[in-house]
Each structure stands twice: as structure tokens, then as C-alpha cells.
Amino acid sequence: MGNWLTGWSSDRSSGYSSDWSPGGSSGVPSGPVHKLEKSIQANLPPNENCLQQIAVSLVPSQKLEEYIQANLKPNRKSLKQIDQAVDAIWDLLRSQIPVKEVAKGGSYGRETALRGCSDGTLVLFIDCFQQFQDQIKYQDTFLDFIELWLKIHEKKSVKHEHALVVQVSVPGQRILLQLLPVFNPLRSSENPSSCVYVDLKKSMDKVRASPGEFSDCFTTLQQRFFKKYPRRLKDLILLVKHWYEQCQEKWKTPPPQSLLYALELLTVYAWEQGGQAEDFDMAQGVRTVLRLIRRPTELCVYWTVNYNFEDETVRNILLHQLRSQRPVILDPTDPTNNVGKDDRFWELLTEEAGAWLYSPSLNTESPAPYWDVLPMPLFITPSHLLDKFIKDFLQPNDIFQKQINKAVDIICPFLKNDCTWNSDTKVLKTVKGGSTAKGTALKRGSDADIVVFLSSLDSYDSLKTNRSQFVQEIQKQLEAFVQAQELEVTFENSKWKAPRVLSFTLKSKTLNESVEFDVLPAYDALGQLRSDFTLRPEAYQELIELCASQDIKEGEFSICFTELQRNFIRTRPTKVKSLLRLIKHWYKQYERKMKPKSLPPKYALELLTVYAWEQGSGTDDFDIAEGFRTVLDLVIKYRQLCIFWTVNYNFEEEYMQKFLLTQIQKKRPVILDPADPTGDVGGGDRWHWHLLAEEAKEWLSSPCFQVKQKGLVQPWKVPVMQTPGSCGGQIYPTVGGVTK
């Protein structure tokens, strides 16, 4: 491939003075400004154009970051000089124009300007504009005055539609700056109220304005929206924008400027949904954005940071937008502005995205990793399309299942046959656990749990004492095994001094995707299971006695009951598993957003879902929206929850009765693991249930729970509290001072 940096200057526009000269913004429709920019580009020195002639798709994935720093990222000194020049324009104008505030927009204001030449706006908030309509009436008058004032001071500008364009040039950087006199709907308020957007809608209706026509009025919010994101994400945006510019050169008709903004927002969305890591891998980010671009007919992206579904008028605007033809990428500052609506160019972009996504340079490893990001959020999915959402985006296909089985067929034989144990240790059995074994795995992001029961772990005490040694021994032998088998394994560093689990990612030539594993040594407390009943009923008694005599954390030995946990979920109807996938996806979305908050365990939500179905429906064919709504309703009522089952243990034995009565009188929420009576996954105050409850409340306004002509989806009638009496026990203890 050769040296991909050869001959590329880091200074793409040296030799320009700081005087303003005529210019236009990159990518604007054909007209005077666009033609003028073409002429400027034609007169650039050779070293400024050479970067545009090299396809970014030829840059090796491991060199992308170096490529950005060497060629795309503007020089700080140049940007500082640009800021000074823009401030000089502002100083010149404010002495003659009634403007108290300005905002910097475009790529320049969003801090996503490419090195060399980029677009920008200087929004002038005119004091005498009292409403949106004033902007339409008097904007041209102000533009004429500004143009005249610039001429008096021998500064050149070009009038284009409702803006004046001036070129701000310093050594190393040019900004084609639009000057925009607009109405300020925010006034002194830092955050917009719903009244601002209600007023926007009324004004647009009065003057029959086009969607997004007043979006420049919200430039301050746009600048604030981008300011909070890390610099590395903006570097990824630079890379995507540069690729887009190279695509433009192949097209006869220039695409709308809004499409550039749409790609910036799509990149932000990919990063937010992909985990929000600040030290992310640049190639993974690019692959994720390209994969989203290739799904334009499914794209629906929006934010609720400045507007939301609470006000009826704003909600109707949003719902109208979200139900419109894809792609939908809403401006986070203006709900009327769908910046992704031009589907003509999405077809071209889709083709170009595929070419780069599957190019050798971006696939230097196999499989090439990317973030797990859906093209549309669950929140805006109508209730009647939830089943389709699950099938299209959450439910694994046969390829996924074969992939998991292949990976398990590598690890299980290794544990049974290739691990060299001491003479006292034998593998009694290996059991597949986790979501793949339960039948509730998501399309991406689910791992394979393998529990290995060892003969030398012959009690709960021995498991507690020795499991970390076995974890270390398995890792040591697995490292040697993968070298001999030409496999690739990446181990996850444990945060615990004495780890209970060995976590790693497995890659091989036979696997299309990498597979994440958790291998856990365990004590075979149950023995051989038959029809879900243990041959060792004393297993629970031993556990409860140990918990009473030692300082044992709740559920510490739940791994010993993996088979019971698996069977409890696996036997449920297919549609219940679909509901479980939906709840898990909802939970994972919020978990990403709330890192590193201590949220309730995902297993608690799984049990809550099964309970909701058992108590509220119990049928194989139920309304998925009603089930979803019921689970959220239970989350909101977390302070009242007391839920347990008697399928594996009950109140018949005195020791168990005494223990369970103590468990269910703990602080709410109480959700007992049906396989392990010591495992309260509700946890009382242990986890931040209140945060999950707040999120659930916000979701009640989601289109997921709105049915045309029928109003809102209603939850099933489900009791929030179980008692021994309600479960068929012949005792009625006092719970919270009331006999049950």
C-alpha cells in the first residue's frame, strides 16, 4: 500500500491573509456562493488539494487516528486566530446593529471544522425581532445594511438566500462564514421551555414556513449540545465528514448542507448508543457509523434534551416526525427539522458506505468489531410494531445459534479433556447457563456462560476458598491451548483479587463473530437432576446453615443452582422469551446511559417479567405492549415489591419456613431467586431502583403504549406482593403489621 502519508501537507491553506474574501459554504446548492467556492478550490495551492485526491478508504484501520491528527484536525493556533477574526466581525457590526448576543454555528461552532476549508455561521440575535415572523419580514433589510456596512469598511461578502457569506482566512485555515440575523426565542433563558416550541409551531403555521426554517434561531442550543461531547468523538466526526466530502466529488449534483449535519448527528448517536467510552477504538466507531448509513430505510434518530413528549403540541410534532418516511434524523434543538430527509443521496451514501465498510483497509482483523447500535430506538416504536421490532432487531437468527454452539464445542471439550487437573479433581459435568441457555439471548451482546462442576469443590466452603485458584488455573491452561489450536483469546481483567469467574473473548477462523465467555467453577450441590427436582434436598439446608454461621453475601453460591435458574426460564412460552428480550434491551439501553451507577441486576428484571406474565396473563398469545407496560409499572412500584416462588423450595420444612419468613419481611423490594432462597435480587436499598423507576415513568409517554382510537395501553392487574398464603402455603404470617 506504500506510505499513505507521503506528500500530504499538514497545512492545507497556507498563504492566506486574515482579510475577509468572498466565499461560500461547502455543499450548498448550486448558486453564486457554490460557484464562488468552486473557483476558490480551483485556485488552492497543490498541497491543499492533494488530501482530497487520496481515498480515505485506503487508510489502514490502525492508522486512522494518525491520519486524523496529521491531516484533518485543525491547528489550535489557526483556530484561535479564526476566533479573533470572527470576534472582529462582531465588534464591527455591533456598533451599528441592535444585537446584544451572537452564537457560533455550523461546523465551526460545533467544533467539527475540518482543516483547510470548512463552513461556519455567526448568528446575530436582533433585539427588535420580537417573534419568529419578524425574522421573515425584516431579515433582508438587515442583510442589506450589513452588506453596505462591510463595503464601507472594504470587506467583501456575497449574499446567498437569507445570509451573507464572508471568508475568514488565516494561515492554515479558512472558514466560509455565514452571517445570519435571526430572532432569539430563548432570550435570557438557558434552557428552552415547551412554550418556545409551541410558539415556533404557531409561527410556522401563520407564515407557512418550511420545516426547520427557523432552526438557526436555536444555534446556541446546537453549540451547547456538541460542546459536552469528548474531543475524540469530534475526531471521529471529522473522519466521517472527510469521507463524505470525498463522496461528494463523485456526484454530479451537490447534496444539501443538512446532510452533512445529519452525518454528524448520526455519529453522535452511534457513540452514545455504543457505550459512550471516551477511549474508544476509532475503527470500531467508523464501522458502526457506516453500518447505520447502510440502513437508511430504518434510521430514526432523535434526542429529548431540549424538547420531549410532555407538552401535547410538542408531542404531536414529534410523533408526526417519527412516523414519517425514513430516514429520520431530528435536529436535537428543533423538532421540526428532519436533517436526514433527502433520500436521493442516501442511496448514493449507502453504496459508498458499503465500499469502505468491506474494504481490506477497514477489515484488518476478522471478525472486524463494531458497536451494537440499532438504527432506531425502542422508545418511538408503535405498540403494534413491537413484535416486529423484537424479531428484526433483538431475536438471534440461526446463524447466531450455530455460532454459539461452535464456540461452546471448542471450550467444553477443552474443560473436560484438555485441562490437566490434579489427581483429586475431575470434571463432574459442564452446564451451559446464561441467556443463550435460557433461550433469551439478544442478537448481539449476549455471552455464553459455562459452569464447570469439579469434584474437589465438594462443599460451599471449599468453593468459597478455592474457586479463584481454579479460575487462574483454567486461564493458564487455556492460554496454552489456544496457541496450539490457532485460536485468539482476549482475557478480561478482573477487578477482584480473588476472581470467581474467568471472562474472555474467543475468536477463530470458523467463527464469523467473536464470542464472549464466562467460565465459572462450581460445587455440585444438586447432584443429578430429574424433572427439575434435586436428589439432594439437603443442599438448601447446608446453604442456609452456612449463611447463618458465617458472613456470606446473599446469593454468593447461586452459581451452584445454574440448572434450576436455566430451567425456570427455558420452559416458558416463546412469546414470554420475546418479552424478556424486550425488557433486557430496555434495561441495557438505560444501563449504558447510567454508567457507572449501581443499577438492580438484570436477573431481577427477568424474574419480574416472568412474574408479570404469570400473574397478569398466563397465556401463550398475549399483547406484548401490555406485558411491557406491566413490567414498567412494577418497576415504578418497586418500594412495595415482595415476590417469590415455591417451585424449588417451599414452606413445608421448618428450617426453610423460618428462613423464608425472614427473607420476605426484609426491606422492599424483595425478589427471591426461585433457584436460590438466599438470593434476594431485589436487594432493598442495595441498588438504585429509584433511578430505574424514574426511567420507567418517562417511558409511559412512549408511542410503545399508545394505541390509535383506544388511548393508552393498560397494564395487567398484578399484585405487587406475594405471601405464603397466596402461594398455597398453610401459614399466614404477619407482614408489615398486617396478617396475610
Q: What does the H/E/C string look like for 191-234?
A: CCCHHHHHHHHHHHHHHCCCCCCCHHHHHHHHHHHHHCCCHHHH
| Whole-number pLDDT of residue 94 | 86
At residue 35 the predicted structure's pLDDT band, cuts being 50, 70 and 90, is: very low
H/E segment holding residue 337 = strand 334-338
105 with 14, same domain: the answer is: yes
| Whole-number pLDDT of residue 534 | 53
- C-alpha Rg value of the chain to the nearest Å: 31
577 with 436, same domain: the answer is: no
H/E segment holding residue 428 = strand 427-433
More confident position, 266 or 149? 266
500 with 636, same domain: the answer is: no
At residue 445 the predicted structure's pLDDT band, cuts being 50, 70 and 90, is: low
* Tally of domains in the chain: 3
The string of pLDDT tens digits covering residues 331-381 is 999 999 999 987 678 999 999 999 999 999 998 877 788 998 999 889 888
Percentage of the chain modeled with pLDDT above 90? 62
Which range among 204-218, 415-429, 533-547 shows the weakest confidence by mean pLDDT? 533-547
CA-closest candidate to residue 471, choices 441, 450, 447, 448: 450
Cis bond upstream, residue 256 (ω within 30): no
Look at residue 131 and tell me if it is in a domain: yes
Mean pLDDT to the nearest integer, 563-570: 95
pLDDT at 192 over 80: yes
For helices 574-594 and 624-636, what crossing angle results, to 10°? 50
CA-closest candidate to residue 243, choices 410, 412, 393, 71: 71
422 with 516, same domain: the answer is: yes
513 with 602, same domain: the answer is: no
Mean pLDDT to the nearest integer, 200-225: 95
pLDDT at 730 over 80: no
| Whole-number pLDDT of residue 423 | 78
Cis bond upstream, residue 375 (ω within 30): no
pLDDT at 712 over 80: yes
pLDDT at 478 over 50: yes
Q: Which amino acid is at 495?
A: K
Cell numbers standing for residue 89: 466581525
Cell numbers standing for residue 700: 409511559
Which range among 285-294, 343-352, 662-671, 701-710 shows the weakest confidence by mean pLDDT? 701-710
Look at residue 231 and tell me if it is in a domain: no
Q: Among 460, 492, 524, give the residue marking a domain's end.
A: 524
Q: Among 184, 200, 219, give the residue marking a domain's end.
A: 184
* Average of per-residue pLDDT values in the chain: 86
pLDDT at 587 over 60: yes
| Whole-number pLDDT of residue 380 | 82
More confident position, 581 or 189? 581
166 with 17, same domain: the answer is: yes
Residue 114 near residue 72 (C-beta atoms within 8 A): yes
More confident position, 85 or 20? 85
| Whole-number pLDDT of residue 527 | 84
Mean pLDDT to the nearest integer, 504-516: 77
pLDDT at 6 over 80: no
CA dihedral 633, 635, 636, 640 (to 10 degrees): 100
pLDDT at 599 over 80: yes
pLDDT at 597 over 80: no
Cell numbers standing for residue 384: 403494534
The string of pLDDT tens digits covering residues 614-656 is 999 999 999 999 999 999 999 999 999 999 999 999 999 999 9
| Whole-number pLDDT of residue 382 | 85
| Whole-number pLDDT of residue 329 | 96
Mean pLDDT to the nearest integer, 23-30: 31
Task: Give DSSP secondary structure letters for 277-329.
Answer: -TT--HHHHHHHHHHHHT-TTT-EE---SS--SSSHHHHHHHHHHHTSSSPEE
713 with 660, same domain: the answer is: yes
516 with 619, same domain: the answer is: no
pLDDT at 51 over 60: no
Mean pLDDT to the nearest integer, 503-531: 82
Look at residue 740 and tell me if it is in a domain: yes
Look at residue 502 and tell me if it is in a domain: yes
Report CA-CA distances (Å) from 104 to 110, 173, 175, 230, 248.
8, 17, 12, 19, 25
Cell numbers standing for residue 619: 397465556
28 with 97, same domain: the answer is: yes
The string of pLDDT tens digits covering residues 243-265 is 999 998 888 777 788 899 999 99
The string of pLDDT tens digits covering residues 369-410 is 899 899 988 988 889 889 999 999 999 888 888 888 888 888
Q: CATH number of the domain that 626 lies in?
A: 1.10.1410.20
597 with 488, same domain: the answer is: no
For the chain, the straight-line distance linking the first and the last C-alpha, in angstroms and rounded, comes to 77
pLDDT at 691 over 60: yes
| Whole-number pLDDT of residue 249 | 85
98 with 34, same domain: the answer is: yes
| Whole-number pLDDT of residue 341 | 87
| Whole-number pLDDT of residue 251 | 84
CA-closest candidate to residue 423, choices 393, 455, 399: 455
Mean pLDDT to the nearest integer, 556-574: 95
Cα separation, 125 vs 708, in Å, equals 42
Cα separation, 728 vs 740, in Å, equals 12
Look at residue 242 and tell me if it is in a domain: no
**Pairing outcome for strands 334-338 and 427-433:** unpaired
Q: CATH number of the domain that 390 lies in?
A: 3.30.460.10
| Whole-number pLDDT of residue 10 | 30
Look at residue 240 and tell me if it is in a domain: no
**595: domain range?**
568-740
Q: In DSSP terms, which residues pair with 670 in a beta bridge? A: 642
The string of pLDDT tens digits covering residues 120-148 is 999 999 999 999 999 999 999 999 999 99
More confident position, 602 or 32? 602
| Whole-number pLDDT of residue 489 | 86
| Whole-number pLDDT of residue 342 | 75
515 with 573, same domain: the answer is: no
At residue 52 the predicted structure's pLDDT band, cuts being 50, 70 and 90, is: very low
Q: Among 155, 184, 213, give the residue marking a domain's end.
A: 184
At residue 26 the predicted structure's pLDDT band, cuts being 50, 70 and 90, is: very low
Look at residue 176 and tell me if it is in a domain: yes
More confident position, 415 or 735? 415
| Whole-number pLDDT of residue 46 | 37
Look at residue 218 and tell me if it is in a domain: no
Q: In DSSP terms, which residues pair with 101 in a beta bridge? A: 125
